[in-house]
Structure 1
Amino acid sequence: MFVQAINPPTVPRGGELLRIAPTPQHSPEMMERLAEALSECWGALGLPRDSPLGPACASCQRPLHLSLMSAWERQHFLQGAIAGTA
C-alpha cells in the first residue's frame, strides 16, 4: 500500500493530508483492507474520527469527504447523491 503524505509548504501547517490514489487494478477487497489498516493506525495513534455529514459512497456507504475533493469531484458526487446513486 502506498499512501503519500502532503506536508507544508504544499498545504498550510496543521492541514497535512494523506493522499491515496486507487487505480482500476485495486479490487474492492484491496480498498477495504486499506480502510481497515488506516482504521487500525488511527486507533493505535488515538487520532480523532470525525465523520462528515452528507453524501456517502455508493459502493461502500462510507461518508464522502467533500472538502478534500476538487470542484469537479464534488459536483459529480453531489449530482449522484441527488439522483440517489451516492
Structure 2
Amino acid sequence: MMFWFDHDVSGWGWFAMSAGMILFWALIITVAVLLFRALERPHEHTRTPTGPAPEQLLAERFARGEIDEEEYRRHLSVLRGAGPGTHP
C-alpha cells in the first residue's frame, strides 16, 4: 500500500507540465506556419522574365522606324556578344 503515497505532482510540477505543453504547441504551430509560407513562396530560380527580350525590343524599335538599319545591326551585334565592330 505504500505504493500509492507520495506520488502526487506538486504545484511546480503542474506549472512545468503546463509550460511545457504550451511551448510544445507553440513550436508545432510555428513550424507549420513557416512550412506553409515556404511552400507558398514562388521560387526565385523558376521565375521567368515578364518583359520582352532585348532583341525583340530592338526589332520593334527598328520596325517603328526609331532607328535605322545600321544602328539596328550595331546594337544587335553588341547584344549577341559579337562586339561593336563586327556585323553578323
Q: TM-score, normalised by structure 1?
A: 0.26
Larger radius of gyration, structure 1 or 2? 2
Higher strand share: 1
Q: Report which structure shows greater RCO (CA 8 Å, sep ≥6).
A: 1
Higher helix share: 2
